[in-house]
Amino acid sequence: MKAWLCNRQCFIAVAAVCLVPLLFAAQGSASNSSEDARLVNEFQQRVKQYLELRKKAAGQAPKPTDSPQVIASSQRELGNKVRVARAGAKQGEIFAPEIAQYFRRQLAAVLVGPHGKDIRASLRHAEPVRMDLQINQSYPENVPLQSTPPTLLLKLPELPDGLEYRILDRELVLRDAEANIVVDYIPEVLPDTEK
Amino acid sequence: MIAPRKSFSLLLASLIVCSVSLHAQTNRKLDIKLPLRNNSVRFAVIGDSGTGDQEQYEVAKEMEAYREAVGFDFVIMLGDNIYGGHEPRDLAQKFEMPYKPLLDAGVKFYASLGNHDDPNVERLYKPFNMNGERYHTFKRGDVQFLALDSNYMDAKQLTWVEQNLRSSGARWKICYFHHPLYNDGKSHGPDLDLRNQLTPLLKLYGVNAVFSGHEHAYERIKPEDGIYYFIQGSSGKLVKDDFHRSEIMEKSFDRDRTFMLIEIDGDKLFFQTVSRTGQTVDAGQVGRQTQPARAVAAGR
């Protein structure tokens, strides 16, 4: 009987020692995920604000046409209107430091995950592009748009129509595809070895 | 000093030589490997075409010669449709002028986007028939075509691919996009991450054939998971000696620019790959694969 009691006490003690850190970890993970949700929500709000500003400044998106001249001029016009509307915009306006950290964590997790090797291979084969980025600049029309591995895209918050993520060398760019404008970017979001 | 009579004779001789040469050019016997059956679906395939160089124009001229004989009425474009700038003069020089005879004959072009394309210009450019979208679908006969944007395969596009493949009751399902899932090229090679995300859908919903570009040469891959893969990335650009042969390669050609002709009739797909100089570098036929149960059920 005594031996049984001793065994039971030992079992409870061992279980407690094992479970307490797990409980703390679970609590930490829950608070991490709610913090992540807050950051994603904050990011989406900022994106929404940008799109509202763009719509107010530039109106509706252009329609398909036979005329390359019409396409070229409407794109330039749209870009110029957006540039004027957010003339003072700075890097980090949408990718605020906390949000940028969230994106860095997401991308780092994918790159060390099971598809990391294939993603790195895809990035290498994507004709990497290097250029100096500036907010509100037009993406140069004669520079290829580097393709972005799908597994990376699936890990990032979804974007509304008209906006897209692009990897450029090591930076992550938020691009207004319709106005052809660099809306914001996170510098050196990919580790140096991923070049 | 050449006498006027002799001069006239020389001029006449030159005219006759030119005329015979032109006649031989226009009436040369084309090496047609397609069966040209009644009511079949016939189309051409070009990839990495938009250089505006002499070679692109020569490929286009050969395409027109084959169109007159084969009667294809549409062309699918595998991306890099316009290299460099996307000003109106670029679209004219790299698309409208080389393919003018085809466009004048009513041939329609259905583009997909490559990494050198400007999505914003090209999706709005009506002659590319993209309806203002980065990815789109159309049906010809009993063939469903899905033109994808492999530069940016996000969750939205993957869902769209799944919905369109699931809901299509077409006998043949063909996907085309710029980056190849399988490829033996030294310049780029396969896009492994794209392959991981896309092939489960292609297999599940019974896609029969996939056409890609990006690698500047021609390659036919042995069927992977029962799907036929073709790489046609040399209709304007070319990288010579581009391949390191592997066990997945069925046939390759990297000595000159090419385009493809396809004919689909019933359960057969016939293909012919033609070089800039009119040489047939690959040809054959493949049968329609048995469809996975899921695809058959979905298509009903």
Question: Greater confidence, A19 or B155?
Answer: B155
How much is the average pLDDT of B75-82?
98
Q: Which residues of A touch B81 (CB under 8 A)?
A: none
Which helix (H) or strand (E) segment is A38 a member of? helix A2-58
Of A72, A141, A164, the CB nearest to B152: A164
Mutation site, A111, A122, A168, A182, interface B, largest B CB count within 10 A? A122
Q: B232, B76 in Cβ contact below 8 A?
A: no
B127 shares contact with chain A (CB less than 8 Å): yes
pLDDT digits 0-9 by tens, A172-191: 999 998 888 999 999 999 87
Which helix (H) or strand (E) segment is A184 a member of? strand A181-186
Domain B40-299 has CATH 3.40.1160.10: no
Q: Which residues of B touch A145 (CB under 8 A)?
A: 115, 117-119, 151
- For residue B132, give the chain A residue with the closest CA: A64
Of A125, A150, A151, the CB nearest to B189: A125
A120 domain residue, yes or no: yes
Residues 5-64 of B with CB under 8 A from A: none
Q: Which residues contact B96 (CB under 8 A, 6 or more apart)?
A: B103, B127
Taking phi first (over 0 means left), then psi (-120 to 50 degrees means alpha), and beta for anything else, what does residue A188 get? left
The tens-digit pLDDT sequence of chain A (195 residues) is 455 545 666 555 555 555 555 444 445 555 678 899 999 999 999 999 999 998 888 777 788 999 988 888 888 888 899 999 999 999 999 999 999 999 999 999 999 988 899 998 888 877 777 888 899 998 877 778 888 999 999 999 999 988 999 988 889 999 998 888 999 999 999 876 544
Interface predicted TM-score of the whole assembly (ipTM), two decimals:
0.80
**What pLDDT score was predicted for residue A63?**
87
The residue ranges of DSSP E strands in chain B, in sequence order, are: 41-46, 74-77, 108-111, 136-140, 143-147, 172-176, 209-212, 218-224, 227-232, 249-253, 258-265, 268-275, 280-287
By DSSP bridging, strand B172-176 and strand B136-140 are unpaired
pTM of the full predicted structure?
A: 0.86
Question: Greater confidence, B189 or B273?
Answer: B273
A27 domain residue, yes or no: no
Domain span at residue A82 reads 34-194
pLDDT digits 0-9 by tens, B205-254: 999 999 999 999 999 999 999 999 999 999 999 999 888 888 999 999 99
The minimum CA-CA distance between A89 and chain B, rounded to whole Å, is: 23
Domain range summary for chain B, segments of one domain joined by + = 40-299
Question: Greater confidence, B71 or A11?
Answer: B71
The whole-angstrom separation of Cα B40 and Cα B155 is: 35
Domain of A95: which CATH number?
A: 3.10.450.160
The whole-angstrom separation of Cα A87 and Cα A144 is: 26
A63 and B86 in contact by Cβ < 8 A?
A: no
The minimum CA-CA distance between B38 and chain A, rounded to whole Å, is: 33
Q: Which residues of B touch A172 (CB under 8 A)?
A: none
Q: B254, B239 in Cβ contact below 8 A?
A: yes
Point out which residues pair with B76 in neighbouring strands: B45, B110
Of A144, A158, A178, the CB nearest to B155: A158
Q: Which residues of B touch A119 (CB under 8 A)?
A: 193
Of A115, A144, A159, the CB nearest to B193: A115
Q: Which residues of B touch A177 (CB under 8 A)?
A: 119-120
pLDDT digits 0-9 by tens, B248-295: 999 999 999 999 999 999 999 999 999 999 999 999 999 998 776 666
A5 domain residue, yes or no: no
Number of domains in chain A: 1
A135 domain residue, yes or no: yes
Mutation site, A145, A164, A194, interface B, largest B CB count within 10 A? A145
Q: Which residues of B touch A149 (CB under 8 A)?
A: 193-194
